[in-house]
């Protein structure tokens, strides 16, 4: 559900919210926006709305955002794509008033904490419609009778395994306090699945150990083949003007597999067996595919060869406590 904000507006001013607008377009029932469309917001939804308006025939698709590019929550490549398609930006601006055919913008400045502050400087620009893309509220109507599930600030409270205060009920993605992106939602799905598995088996959820990020100097880059990154095919800009064809195409199965093989697995053992092979004292024990390896400390003399030879920096030497 798109968030609304109270902007002083004349009776016939055309204001709609971005999620409804995008739904209508997806349902093949686009609303009439006119030639000059102003989108208010700074996230991916604002960019989607402006790019969609361009495809529907808007000559001006202007995004009004109260902060600057550095503070914009939208993904950088989405902004780049939008600008390439003729969307324009009004940084450091807020909408003060909407009337038929015009809107009044107020210029903003950022304070030391990066928050926008009003300047009292106004400007009028032409606009046939205003699309509000000010974020979304999660639809929690499903929970109206679930009194044991705690909701705060419009999202569901969860433990670290994503279980809600209702026993055996888990939540994730946009429904919980977190960054609202597709990757976070997918990650939550995986985490919640682990939590559900532990709950059903009656054991405490295992938290996978997070190790430090392997620095570049810990990698042995010679181990990996030198391979150019596969570029995903992109639809030419001129062919995007009046249709909703896919803009950035996916990879073929062959290329996707190739890309996956370019992963250097930084800090994560990928069972190359190097340590097992190079240890002069046979101190590296193979535990089978899932168990990976263990160092038999009764045999290890601490020469560090395995650390040196591990391609991905997965082994760390810790000084012995005496």
Interface residues toward ligand FAD, by CB under 6 A: 19, 22, 44-45, 48, 75, 78, 136, 139, 142, 173-175, 180-183, 185
185 binds, among ligand FAD, ligand SF4, none (CB under 5 to 8 A by kind): ligand FAD
Nearer to ligand FAD, 182 or 256 (CB): 182
Instruction: For residue 310, state whether it binds ligand SF4 (rule: CB under 6 A).
Output: yes
Give the pair of three-digit tokens for residue 266. Answer: 């930084």
Which residue among 117, 281, 294, 316 contacts ligand SF4 (CB under 6 A)? 281
Q: Is 21 exposed, middle or buried (0-12, 13-18, 19+ CB in 10 A)?
A: buried
Nearer to ligand FAD, 24 or 268 (CB): 24
Render 123-149 in DSSP notation, one character per residue. EEEEESEEEE---B----GGGTT-TTS
Closest-by-Cβ residue to ligand FAD is: 173
CB of 90 to ligand FAD, least distance (A): 20
> How distant is the alpha carbon of residue 173 from its chain centre?
11
Q: Which of 175, 266, 172 is nearest to 213 (CA)?
A: 266
Q: Which stretch binds ligand SF4 (CB under 6 A): 15-23, 174-182, 205-213, 300-308?
A: 300-308
Which residue among 305, 316, 319, 320 contacts ligand SF4 (CB under 6 A)? 305
312 binds, among ligand FAD, ligand SF4, none (CB under 5 to 8 A by kind): ligand SF4
Nearer to ligand FAD, 48 or 106 (CB): 48
Alpha-carbon distance of 106 to 93, in angstroms, equals 6
Nearer to ligand FAD, 169 or 303 (CB): 169
Alpha-carbon distance of 267 to 261, in angstroms, equals 16
306 binds, among ligand SF4, ligand FAD, none (CB under 5 to 8 A by kind): ligand SF4
Give me the sheet containing 116-127, strands edge to edge. 93-99, 101-110, 116-127
Backbone angles phi, psi at 76, to 5 degrees: -55, -40
Alpha-carbon distance of 169 to 175, in angstroms, equals 13
CB of 221 to ligand SF4, least distance (A): 14
Instruction: For residue 98, state whether it binds ligand SF4 (rule: CB under 6 A).
Output: no
CB of 318 to ligand SF4, least distance (A): 11
Nearer to ligand SF4, 64 or 275 (CB): 275
Q: Is 271 left (phi over 0), alpha (psi -120 to 50) or beta?
A: left
Backbone angles phi, psi at 217, to 5 degrees: -70, -15
Contacts of 21 (CB under 8 A, 6+ apart): 31, 49, 52, 131
Residues 85/51, Cβ–Cβ less than 8 Å = yes
Instruction: For residue 247, state whether it binds ligand SF4 (rule: CB under 6 A).
Output: no
180 binds, among ligand SF4, ligand FAD, none (CB under 5 to 8 A by kind): ligand FAD
The H-or-E segment that residue 97 falls in is: strand 93-99
- Contact positions vs ligand SF4 (CB under 6 A): 269-275, 279, 281, 283-284, 295, 300-306, 310-312, 314-315
């Amino acid at each position: 559900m798109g968030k609304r904000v109270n902007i002083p507006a004349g009776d016939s001013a055309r204001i709609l919210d971005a999620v409804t607008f995008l739904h209508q377009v997806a349902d093949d029932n686009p609303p009439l926006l006119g030639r000059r469309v102003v989108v208010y917001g700074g996230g991916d939804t604002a960019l989607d709305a402006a790019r969609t308006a361009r495809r529907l025939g808007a000559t001006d698709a202007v995004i009004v955002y109260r902060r600057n590019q550095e503070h914009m929550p939208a993904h950088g490549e989405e902004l780049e794509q939008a600008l390439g398609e003729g969307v324009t930006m009004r940084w450091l601006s807020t909408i003060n008033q909407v009337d038929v055919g015009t809107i009044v913008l107020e210029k903003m400045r950022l304070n030391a904490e990066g928050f926008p502050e009003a300047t009292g400087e106004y400007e009028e620009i032409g606009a046939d419609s205003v699309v509000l893309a000010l974020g979304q509220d999660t639809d929690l109507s499903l929970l109206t009778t679930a009194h044991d599930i705690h909701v705060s600030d419009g999202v569901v409270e969860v433990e670290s395994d994503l279980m809600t205060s209702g026993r055996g009920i888990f939540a994730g993605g946009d429904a919980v306090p977190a960054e609202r992106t597709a990757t976070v939602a997918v990650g939550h799905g995986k985490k919640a699945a682990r939590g559900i598995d532990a709950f059903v088996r009656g054991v405490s959820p295992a938290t996978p150990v997070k190790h430090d990020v392997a620095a570049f100097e810990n990698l042995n880059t010679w181990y990996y083949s030198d391979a150019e990154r596969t570029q995903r095919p992109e639809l030419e800009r001129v062919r995007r003007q009046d249709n909703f064809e896919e803009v950035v195409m996916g990879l073929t199965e062959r290329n996707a597999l190739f890309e996956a093989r370019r992963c250097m697995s930084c800090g994560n053992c990928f069972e190359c067996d190097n340590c097992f092979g190079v240890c002069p004292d046979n101190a590296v024990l193979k535990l089978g595919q899932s168990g990976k390896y263990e160092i038999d400390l009764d045999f290890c003399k601490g020469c560090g060869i395995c650390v040196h030879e591990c391609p991905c920096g997965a082994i760390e030497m810790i000084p012995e406590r005496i």
